Amino acid sequence: MMNKKGYLALSATALLLLAACGNGEDNGAASEGDDFEGITDDPTELTAWMWDPNFNVAAFEMAEERFQENNPDFSLNIVENSQADVIQRLNTSLSSGVETGLPNIVLIEDYRAPSFLTAYEGSFYSLGDYFETSDFADYKIAAGTHNDNVYNVPFDTGVTGLFVRTDYLEEAGYSLDDLQDITWEEYIEIGKSVYEQTGVSWITNDNGDLGLMRIMMHSSGVWWTDEEDGVTPFIEGNEPLRLAFENYKEMVDAGIVNIHNDWDQFIQTFNNGDVVTVPTGNWINASIMQAEDQAGNWGVAPIPRQSVEGSVNASNLGGSSIYVLNVEGNELAAEFLAATFGSDAEFYQDLLVDIGAMGAFAPASDGEAFEVEVDFYGGQQIFQDLAQWTQEIPEVAFGQRTYEIEDILSVALQDFLGGADLDEVLQNAQSQAELAM
């Protein structure tokens, strides 16, 4: 049996691949003329649509090999395109009502899933009877549940952590212990002190990106839409959203925020040592570890919680799940997923070690791959910590049209930062969102 230290080299490789998961978004723009093969006449072959060859495709290739051990005639035809293309083609195929243009399996980002399940009732195959849904984090199962039926097998988790430069903390008289189980208000006060003593920005953010707001709200179990119908915008009167706006403005006004404008600048900020903390999804590990000279100077703490009832020190940013189309071959597709992504703890160990994929499958967290002590993080068992926090993430009803509402809220945040009254800002955003929906 491989000991914990024996996993170190492999886990370092895994960490360097974690960025492939990203925050659920995909840099590839939608393009014309990409080939999308649908279901075939071969009863032993399935077709799957997805994006990202180094992460998602690699995971499914591993799953195919594992399933073939007991099903040698099985084959998986993986069609890889950008996420934008996959979403566009899936919409087109489902709208046409022509079954032959559809895949058997498709990967869908959790934020987009409710829109598909609602708009295309009956087009997806229920999977809840094929695997133990209780083995997965509740919030991941909730993302693919519609009318009490479970349609998804969860894949990667976007569990968040507060990634911290511990050397900067120590210079200011703090330690990682001071960031355990804190509120955002406490986080801000510590940040002001650290900035005053070190001159290093406490956090970096893109004012046009609402990722930080997602993190704050998800920790409180709230989203942009009403949790009952998933359609009605929930902006005005949304206390966690209001508090998120207020907390962020306090950071900006205090001068502790570095403003970046794109992904490359985001990465450069912490790789260059220009920021102390990075509150985001676990997929950022790979990018942080690019700065090899910073090895041993990083740690990970739980994400801060909001000062509202029910908020916890655990949240999520990004992540996708696997869906089966209700077409010929649906039973084989369900059996394939159930035997691999739905139940195989050893398979999840391999996913973590080989490609850096952190799943939401709780039984896998007892394995050795999750117990490795990562030297880059001062020997911290970050995988074990992240796996624990995954199980603590609240369920959230993502609702429909997340991105359309965020376009409106992005402008609202800019207005608030510019000095507009928050009540008026949120009221106007509510009206615009209702009109858009």
DSSP 294-312: GTTSEEEEPPPB-SSTT--
Single pTM value for the model: 0.88
Question: What is residue 38's predicted lDDT score, i.e. its pLDDT?
Answer: 65
Half-sphere exposure (CA, 13 Å, Cβ side) for 157?
31
Helix (H, G, I), strand (E, B) or coil at 145: strand
Give the CA distances from residue 19 to residues 14, 154, 335, in Å, rounded to whole numbers and listed in that order. 10, 18, 29
Q: What is the mean pLDDT of residues 339-358?
A: 95
Using the predicted structure, report yes or no on whether residue 189 has a pLDDT greater than 80: yes
Domain spanning 160-315+396-436: CATH superfamily: Periplasmic binding protein-like II (3.40.190.10)
Using the predicted structure, report yes or no on whether residue 11 has a pLDDT greater than 50: no
pLDDT class of 286 with cuts at 50, 70, 90: confident
- Please report, rounded to a whole number, the percentage of residues in the chain having pLDDT higher than 90: 84
Contact 321, 114 (CB under 8 A): no
Give the CA distances from residue 226 to residues 108, 230, 237, 258, 430, in Å, rounded to whole numbers and listed in that order. 22, 5, 11, 33, 12
Using the predicted structure, report yes or no on whether residue 161 has a pLDDT greater than 70: yes
pLDDT class of 36 with cuts at 50, 70, 90: low
How far is 175 from 49, CA to CA, in rounded Å?
45
How far is 396 from 217, CA to CA, in rounded Å?
9
Amino acid identity for residue 252 in this structure? V
Question: What tokens does 104 get?
Answer: 């058997």
Place of tokens 């994006």: 51
Question: What is residue 118's predicted lDDT score, i.e. its pLDDT?
Answer: 94
Q: What is the mean pLDDT of residues 59-88?
A: 96
For residue 281, what is the enclosing H or E element? strand 277-281
Question: What is residue 14's predicted lDDT score, i.e. its pLDDT?
Answer: 47
Give the CA distances from residue 433 to residues 192, 231, 428, in Å, rounded to whole numbers and listed in that order. 35, 10, 9
The more confidently predicted of residues 14 and 117 is: 117
| Residue pLDDT, tens place only, 221-239 | 999 999 888 899 999 999 9
Dihedral angle sign, alpha carbons of residues 96, 100, 104, 107: negative
Domain boundaries, the chain: 17-158+319-366, 160-315+396-436
Which residues does residue 275 pair with via DSSP β-bridges, in sequence order?
201
Dihedral angle sign, alpha carbons of residues 28, 317, 90, 410: negative
Give the CA distances from residue 99 to residues 74, 85, 102, 112, in Å, rounded to whole numbers and listed in that order. 22, 18, 6, 21
| Alpha carbon 309 to chain centroid, angstroms | 24
pLDDT class of 437 with cuts at 50, 70, 90: confident
Contact 202, 256 (CB under 8 A): yes
Crossing angle (nearest 10°) for helices 402-417 and 239-254: 40
Q: Where are the beta strands (DSSP E) in 309-356?
A: 320-324
Using the predicted structure, report yes or no on whether residue 194 has a pLDDT greater than 70: yes
Q: Show Cβ contacts of residue 431 under 8 Å, excluding neighbours closer than 6 positions.
A: none
pLDDT class of 43 with cuts at 50, 70, 90: confident
Helix (H, G, I), strand (E, B) or coil at 396: coil
The more confidently predicted of residues 24 and 130 is: 130
pLDDT class of 35 with cuts at 50, 70, 90: low
Question: What is residue 27's predicted lDDT score, i.e. its pLDDT?
Answer: 41
H helix intervals, 356-421: 368-371, 382-390, 402-417
Q: Does domain 17-158+319-366 have CATH number 1.20.1250.20?
A: no
Amino acid identity for residue 262 in this structure? D
Using the predicted structure, report yes or no on whether residue 173 has a pLDDT greater than 90: yes
Same fold, 17-158+319-366 and 160-315+396-436: yes
- Please report, rounded to a whole number, the percentage of residues in the chain having pLDDT higher than 70: 91
